[in-house]
A and B are shown apart, each in its own frame.
Chain A
Amino acid sequence: MAKLKINGKRVDIDVDGATPLLWVLREQLGLTGTKYSCGIGLCGACTVLINGEAVRACIVPVSSVKASQEVITIEGLSADNNHPLQQAWKELDVPQCGYCQSGMIMSAAALLKTNPKPSDADIDAQLTNICRCGTFNRVRRGIHLAAQSNRKGTHKRGGA
């Protein structure tokens, strides 16, 4: 049995504690926005926020997540695609196939939380996600754009 707080909601799930958080999200909770790609913590497609920090859910056993911790997935980032990153992503048409983008956005969200105005070097250090379609330059521009609109305070932050 695992007790979790996901996107602000408390859930009790009957699951083997060794199951990675990724598969609990995808298969028990139907939150398929968090993606599987490598399963060994290397690609970032499964990135979620735990207490605001970017975590690769494919290598986190669900038993290690405490009921008191806030887990935020891409589905919980904002109510209506209105997180500054989502808006910037839309403005710049960042996604191509889109498969890596949940992870990309969640990694960027964690970065902006601790570093509201990241430099290119900060982005390089934090975003180690793989994108095979090659959206990197738009991802970078998207983060800068979101950081700008954040500072102007024209947008409300979402769940993260």
Chain B
Amino acid sequence: MKKERINVSRREFLIRSTTMGAGFSLGLYLPVSSREALAAGNAAETVATEIPEVNAWVVIKPDDTVIVRIARSEMGQGTLTGLAQLVAEELECDWSKVTTEYPTPGENLARDKVWRSFATGGSQGIRGSHSYVRKGGAVARHMLIEAAANQWNVPMEECSVANSMITHVPSKRTTTYGKVAAAAAELFPPEQIELKDPKDWKLIGKPVKRLDTDDKLNGKQIFGADLTLPGMLNAAIKACPVFGGTLKSFDAKKISKMPGVRKVVRVEDDAVAVVADTWWQAKTALDALPVTWEEGPNAKVSTASIDKMLDEGLTSSDKVFTGNQNGDVNKALKGAVKTVEATYRYPFQNHATMEPMNATARWTQDRCEVWCPTQNGEAALEAAAEAAGLPISKCDVHKLHLGGGFGRRGAFHDFVKQAVAIARQMPATPVKLLWSREEDMSHGHYHPITKCKLIGGLDDKGNLTGLQVRISGQSILASVRPNWLAKNGADMITFQGMLPEGDHAISYTVPNLLVEHAMRNPPVPPGFWRGVNINQNSIYMECFVDELAHTAGQDPLAFRRKLMARHPKSLAVLNAAAEKAGWGKPAGKGVFRGLAVVKTFGSYVAACAEVSVSTEGKLKIHRIVAATDPGYAVNPQQIEAQVEGSFVFGLSALLYGECTIKDGAVEQTNFHNYPSMQIKEMPKVEVIVMPSGGFWGGIGEPTIAVAAPAVLNAIFAATGKRIREFPLKNTDLRA
């Protein structure tokens, strides 16, 4: 890749100029004290910029502090730091002086979406915005140099720049960004700008420290749940536990005298909330409130009834969509010397972010403000406006750091709508709505449930000749984004990791292949859950390939390699993980290895897991070697952290993650019946980051996909047991 030449829109500048007069600042609509409350605790906050911006992405203070504007949300994945690195690389500024702030989605709308997308999901934070944020940095640099050159009355070309310092080379005069920023803000942006050749990057690719750590070490970081505003009240909420049910009645009189209680309110058609001075008072009163529900049409739905629906889909020809097809799979299977058949099942799972859902809202007849942790500020703003009954221009959302997102806080802003619905009933009073863990467990947007039947055919040499994959189960898009469905109604995201090409392509060349999805949508709301559909699809594919290798009597690595000649990048990560783990060499007494390889979210990932299973059936995951090729690696240190974390998320799901349905409601209520992994279960993780360049792949999700299948394949090697239903807590691993 060479230097990239990019056109700059003048429109951007004009919009900026016109809104500048109105006083651009994040804190503009905040009451002063709440701005202070925010400023007291938030790293990615609220610098009320009376200082003119150089452009939408960059503000430089006279003391050379560089404020980089970040549109995507920070939820732990490190994007805030990565995006700042991208801007700073082109800006040529002093990294030690870089801080960040979030523009609000309201400002984005007012400025014709100058910051583009606020959506933070699909591992898109970096790969979806690298080009325009680097451009933002490059344009600002150009304007800063031009401002300096103007002051010295010299041609720009005679100036050089490094570390926020501009030098007029012939005369050796110097100035700093802070000194010329105000003048730069008055200039027109250049018409064209060049982005650096990746080989000249100095900051991109460096393992710099995160920008948001300090406040997370001393309690200063303000998460949504921590926000306090002057005069704020607190709300606790209970929605009908049965999906699709509604609120019938409640007896407010029974609790109206309880300490702190201010009001008991109906929220939309399915929930009731108690508003009190403190949240603990609200929650205590809510627990004592007599409530009756109209359970609606789903009161009889159970895990068993859903399973029946899915079983039917495994063989049905009704509502079946094709995701990938080549050759003639029927013929291939008929002609096979050996066939292997297996059916897998993957359950509903909750995101279980450590910070339960919450939002704070203040509503008046002509303005609605919301403060919340969200993965998508714009979607939160739309939800707020809808619930407020106000035009969007009269609403705004102030993003706070998220105590985890994992997809729960992106597509759904049910918590925002509820908070606004409550605040509407108490005009001009800020109300903070915080869900209890129990509410969070029972009102998720769950990882979808699917089953998968696979049939593979082998010839007399043990070569794979045909593979038929039938997924049966829930479509996320049909429920969440029906407008993203294909014309024929197919949900192509259900085929993640099995598609013919693209970001989620299958890693193998199979001569005769058919991948189908029988769409079966039970009345349990599904959602995007970190990894989306790759979590189960990678288990289906990678465990079944292992089954095929076993039946063929071949080494699982050798068997895979034969199918990967046309997938060199996948092969490279698989080889790297296997080799570093010592595949083919003894793993230690009682320790066995398993492999998995996946392409997803545009990145290539592989893992080799080492496990042992005791005679009592106790599983120990000793070590995992993971390899990732994300194309460009913006911050290898953060990639390592994401890969390590992905194993916790993926293995928690494998070991414990399951929501079951009884009488139309989720049975799990808290971490005692929906456990998550602890440090004692954590394997050693060795991370190989091997960026091959030329493309931008995602980081936050891909590795989750290889966690479960690598461990499952190692368990098979250790015990001879193929586990096809999850989570593992339901399985006896004794020999």
Contacts and interface: CB of A to CB of B under 8 A. Distances in A.
Interface string B668-704: 0011100011111010110000000000000000000
Contacts of A77: 218
Contacts of B679: 123-124, 127-129, 136, 139-140
Interface in A28-68: 28, 30-40, 42-43, 45
B218 A43 contact: no
Contact of B684 (A43, A81, A95, A137): A137
B75 A97 contact: yes
7 contacts: A30-B228, A33-B219, A33-B221, A94-B213, A96-B78, A97-B355, A100-B354
Given A38-B670, A38-B671, 16 more contacts: A19-B280, A27-B280, A32-B226, A37-B355, A42-B670, A75-B219, A89-B217, A93-B210, A95-B216, A97-B404, A99-B223, A130-B676, A132-B353, A132-B676, A133-B354, A140-B682
A86 B219 CA distance: 11
Interface string B612-648: 0000000000000000000000000110010011111
Nearest to B402: A97
A89 B646 CA distance: 19
Contacts of B466: none
Given A27-B279, A96-B641, A136 B437 contact: no
Nearest to A104: B679
Interface string A132-144: 1111111110000
A45 B355 CA distance: 9
B217 A86 contact: yes
Nearest to A137: B644
Interface residues of A, number: 58
User: Main secondary structure on chain B at its contact with chain A?
Assistant: loop
Given A97-B76, A128-B678, A90 B354 contact: no
A99 B355 contact: yes
A134 B648 contact: yes
B300 interface: no
B406 interface: yes
A1 interface: no
A34 B219 contact: yes
B352 interface: yes
B280 A23 contact: yes
Nearest to B217: A86
Nearest to A123: B679
Interface of A: 16, 19-20, 23, 26-28, 30-40, 42-43, 45, 73-75, 77-78, 81, 86, 89-90, 93-102, 105, 123-125, 127-140
A98 B401 contact: yes
Contact of A31 (B77, B215, B219, B637): B219
A42 to B, nearest CB: 4
Given A31-B219, A137-B684, A39 B437 contact: yes
Contact of A37 (B214, B234, B356, B685): B356
Contact of A101 (B217, B638, B685): B217
A34 B75 CA distance: 18
Nearest to B75: A97
A84 B418 CA distance: 42
B259 interface: yes
Given A89-B217, A139-B679, A99 B354 contact: yes
Contacts of B214: 81, 90
Nearest to B684: A137
Given A33-B218, A33-B219, A86-B218, A45 B682 contact: no
B122 interface: no
Contacts of B219: 31-34, 73-75, 102
Interface in B272-299: 278-280
Interface string B352-364: 1111100000000
* Most A Cβ at <10 Å: residue of B280, B406, B672: B280
Nearest to B221: A98
Contacts of A95: 76, 210, 213, 216-217
Contact of A16 (B234, B259, B402, B638): B259
Which 6 pairs of residues, A with B, have the shortest CB-CB distance? A33-B219, A134-B648, A134-B645, A99-B403, A97-B76, A96-B76
A130 B675 CA distance: 9
B678 A98 contact: no
A38 B437 contact: yes
A102 B217 CA distance: 7
A31 B259 CA distance: 22
Nearest to A102: B219
A159 to B, nearest CB: 11
Contacts of A100: 354
B5 interface: no
Interface string B78-117: 1000000000000000000000000000000000000000
A30 B228 CA distance: 8
Contact of B217 (A26, A45, A81, A137): A81
B143 interface: no
B163 interface: no
B734 interface: no
Nearest to B434: A36
B647 A134 contact: yes
A33 B220 contact: yes
B672 A42 contact: yes
A99 B404 contact: yes
B319 interface: no
B225 interface: yes
A144 B671 CA distance: 28
B429 interface: no
Interface in B134-161: none
